Amino acid sequence: MSEQIKFIVEQLNKEPFKKNFNLITFDSLEPLQLLQVLNDVLAEVDPKHNIDIREEMPEQMAKRMFSLLGVLKYKPPGNVSEASNFRQGLVTGSKPVIHPILHWLLQRINELKKRAYLARFLMKLEVPAEFLQDDVIADTHHQYEDLVESFKTYHKECEQLKTSGFSTAEIRRDITAMEEEKDQLIKRVERLKKRVETVSNHQRMLELARQLRVEKEREESLAHQKQEQKNQLFHAEQRLQRSQQQLKDLRQAAADAKPESLMKRLEEEIKFNTYMVSDKLPKELESKKKTVQYLQKVVAEPAMGQSELGELENKIREINTQINQIIEKRMMRNDPMDDKLSLFRQQASIISRKKEAKAEEVQEAREELANTERELAHKTSQVRDLGGGSELVRGDEFKRYVSKLRSKGTVFKKKRQEIADMRAEYGVLQRTEEILKQRHEAVHQQLQSIEAKRGISGYSDTQEELERVSAIKSELDDVKGRTLDDMSEMAKRLLSCFLSKKPTCALFFKSINQLCCDLKQDTHLSVNRSTCCYCEGALVLRYNELKQQEVRGLREENAQEESRYHYINCMREVIEMQMQRAADEMKAYVSPDPQERRKAVRELYTKNITEQENLGKKLREKQRAVRESHGPNMKQVKMWRDLEQLMECKRQCFLRAQSQASIGQVIQEAGEDRLVL
């Protein structure tokens, strides 16, 4: 009893009751409070009972609880088996009555919920017979019974669907995937339409493609009809073969048989068929009917719980015990007359069992013979379809076939062994590759874990990228340094050249100026002043020409170096931009954010490559389909051309015949005119 109360308290403290009882508080409950707890449990089973018992009369409360317990098939224990005591204890809130009810309810709360729900729809209303004589009430009652049966069917289907494993989330995912696939197909169709619209004469090509599809569908239907006709022909040939075999058997039986043997065989067959019809088949039919009735009875019964099944098993054990006791009493009585009759009964039962066994053996032998004949006919038809004729292979041909088959079998075994060796080697190599990848991955993960511990996650990947970038930068710096060195060297060379030429030019100008001064001061040389001026002008012109040539060359060289300098600067900026893009790409690729990772160029290129590969695969499949259908299509085109030529020939013949007929008519009319004249 204490275990029972402990179980009740544990269940009441759980969801959905949450009573927060212990053994002392539960045992000290007043009768009215105990009845309220019982009513709360019944309200959990059936929500219609969720009321306050203080607002209800005791008789109504007892009637309501009795009706619900009757629906739930509660049976009182032995100590309160009398109905009056049980009713009185339920009304007064007696603990010996309430505690077993609570224990029984809390043990099977989910099962009782289902039973209460079904009882609301399956408990049939009792209508008196005098009311059913009215047609309207009878029709309504029949509709009510039909609705109850349909509810049973729908409830079973609902339970099967609940236990079938289908999930609404999976169905939604499938619907979403199909909608996405539909959108992709619509977009692909639109792209194909746009691509086709650019082709000249696309309407004609679409019409031809539509006609081709119609012809293909027609070809498939014709192939299906052809296959059906082949099947019908095969079945007809089988029936013909069976009929021929029966005719052959009958002819053989009639050739080597006498009337007496035929009559004896027919009598045996009649006896066997009579036994099958009169004894064996009626017994089997009766047993099947009993089984069906028993199954219908089981289906008509309401669903039983584990406790009811236990009670039925106990009843079965009691009945088996009673049967054994009756058999023992009968054996102890040991009547000699019954013993003699039992001996004959045993012999009769043994003979009947042997007879039934032999009949079953004969039936199985006949079925096996029919199956063997059908299999033989099927194999014969297969041989005929393969082109081997209707006769079986015998003698030397079979020996040659066997020897050829053995040689092929030997070659096949060798090839299979080679394939097995190659598969084994492939498996070893694949396993080696997996081990190496695992080791590499383990080392990489270990390195990442060490980096994470040191607070430098992603250092190795970033270090590799930085080393690559630094190598590129060092190369660019070397190129830039060499360019600057060349430019500084050229500037130094120009400056040294200018400094080396400067004293010579200064001395030259100084001598020229001194000469001019001397000539100006010399009054006796006034005659040669013009000549001196002319020489001075010529020398100045020569100096200017030399200066311009050298400066022009230096300026051209300077312009080339400047253009080279600007080109190198542009290249440096381009390479720096590429390095920045590479760093951004690396940052986006290593970033844990999936949105940033999708922006990476690698992801975009991978997506484009995947789309192009899928498109190429579909185009290859389309090309393969076109290649496969090219031969039949060309054959069909040739047939259409032949038909066109044939129709053209018929038209020419018709025109020729029409012209001949018109010529003959003209000749006939001319002859008639001649006769008239």
Summarised one tens digit per residue, pLDDT across range 549-584 is 777 777 788 878 887 888 888 888 888 887 887 777
416 burial class (0-12, 13-18, 19+ CB within 10 angstroms)?
Answer: exposed
Cα gap 144→126, rounded to integer Å: 12
- Please say if the pLDDT value at position 528 is more than 60: no
Q: Which residue has the higher pLDDT, 615 or 198?
A: 615
Can you say whether residue 625 is alpha, beta or left, with left for phi > 0 and alpha for psi between -120 and 50 degrees? alpha
Q: Do residues 66 and 90 make contact, with C-beta atoms less than 8 angstroms apart? A: yes
- Please say if the pLDDT value at position 390 is more than 50: no
pLDDT reported for residue 537: 65
Q: How confident is the model over 51-78, as pLDDT tens digits?
A: 777 777 877 787 888 888 887 778 776 5
Mean pLDDT score, 501-514: 63
Q: Which residue has the higher pLDDT, 605 or 256?
A: 605
- Please say if the pLDDT value at position 508 is more than 70: no
Helix 336-385 with 202-255: angle, nearest 10 deg:
130
Q: Do residues 91 and 61 make contact, with C-beta atoms less than 8 angstroms apart? A: yes
- Tell whether 172 is covered by a domain: no
pLDDT reported for residue 523: 44
- Tell whether 320 is covered by a domain: no
**Whole-Å CA distances, 316 to 293, 298, 312:** 20, 16, 6
> Which of the four pLDDT bands, split at 50, 70 and 90, describes residue 140?
confident
Q: How confident is the model over 513-524, as pLDDT tens digits?
A: 665 566 555 544
* Tokens at 197, concatenated: 């619209």
Q: Do residues 88 and 58 make contact, with C-beta atoms less than 8 angstroms apart? A: no
Q: Which residue has the higher pLDDT, 181 or 542?
A: 181
- Please say if the pLDDT value at position 677 is more than 50: no
Count structural domains, the chain.
Answer: 1
Percent pLDDT > 90 in the chain is 2
**Whole-Å CA distances, 279 to 165, 282, 293:** 48, 6, 21
Highest mean pLDDT among 119-128, 206-215, 335-344: 206-215
- Tell whether 525 is covered by a domain: no
Q: How confident is the model over 196-227, as pLDDT tens digits?
A: 777 777 778 878 888 888 998 999 999 989 98
- Give the residue from 530, 536, 531 showing the smallest Cα distance to 514: 536
Residue span of the structural domain in which 16 resides: 1-123
- Tell whether 85 is covered by a domain: yes
Q: How confident is the model over 463-476, as pLDDT tens digits?
A: 666 667 667 767 77
- Helix spans in 522-600 (H): 529-590, 594-598
- Tell whether 614 is covered by a domain: no
> Which of the four pLDDT bands, split at 50, 70 and 90, describes residue 389?
very low
CATH code (residue 46): 1.10.418.70
Q: Do residues 383 and 390 make contact, with C-beta atoms less than 8 angstroms apart? A: yes
Q: How confident is the model over 30-52, as pLDDT tens digits?
A: 888 888 888 888 888 888 877 77
- Tell whether 39 is covered by a domain: yes
Lowest mean pLDDT segment, chosen from 450-464, 598-612, 663-677:
663-677
First-last CA distance in the chain = 145
Rounded to 5°, the CA angle 276-277-278 comes to 100
Mean pLDDT score, 437-457: 77
170 Cβ partners below 8 Å, 6+ apart?
none
Mean pLDDT for the chain?
77
pLDDT reported for residue 271: 80
Cα gap 416→422, rounded to integer Å: 10
Peptide bond connecting 100 to the previous residue in cis, omega within 30 degrees of 0: no
Helix, coil or strand: residue 305: coil
- Please say if the pLDDT value at position 525 is more than 60: no
Helix, coil or strand: residue 350: helix
Q: Do residues 572 and 473 make contact, with C-beta atoms less than 8 angstroms apart? A: no
Q: Which residue has the higher pLDDT, 562 or 589?
A: 562
pLDDT reported for residue 649: 92
- Helix spans in 80-134 (H): 83-92, 95-107, 109-122, 129-132
Lowest mean pLDDT segment, chosen from 398-402, 467-471, 654-658:
467-471
Task: Give 527's DSSP letter.
Answer: G
Mean pLDDT score, 11-15: 81
Task: Provide long-range contacts, Cβ within 8 A and 24+ apart, for 11-15.
Answer: 11/106, 11/109, 12/37, 12/106
- Tell whether 67 is covered by a domain: yes
**Whole-Å CA distances, 431 to 281, 325, 421, 427, 434:** 65, 71, 15, 6, 5
Cα gap 355→359, rounded to integer Å: 6
- Please say if the pLDDT value at position 232 is more than 80: yes
Helix, coil or strand: residue 542: helix
pLDDT reported for residue 222: 92
- Tell whether 87 is covered by a domain: yes
Cα gap 674→677, rounded to integer Å: 5
- Please say if the pLDDT value at position 242 is more than 60: yes
Helix 135-163 with 109-122: angle, nearest 10 deg:
150
Mean pLDDT score, 72-86: 67
- Please say if the pLDDT value at position 527 is more than 50: no
> Which of the four pLDDT bands, split at 50, 70 and 90, describes residue 504?
low
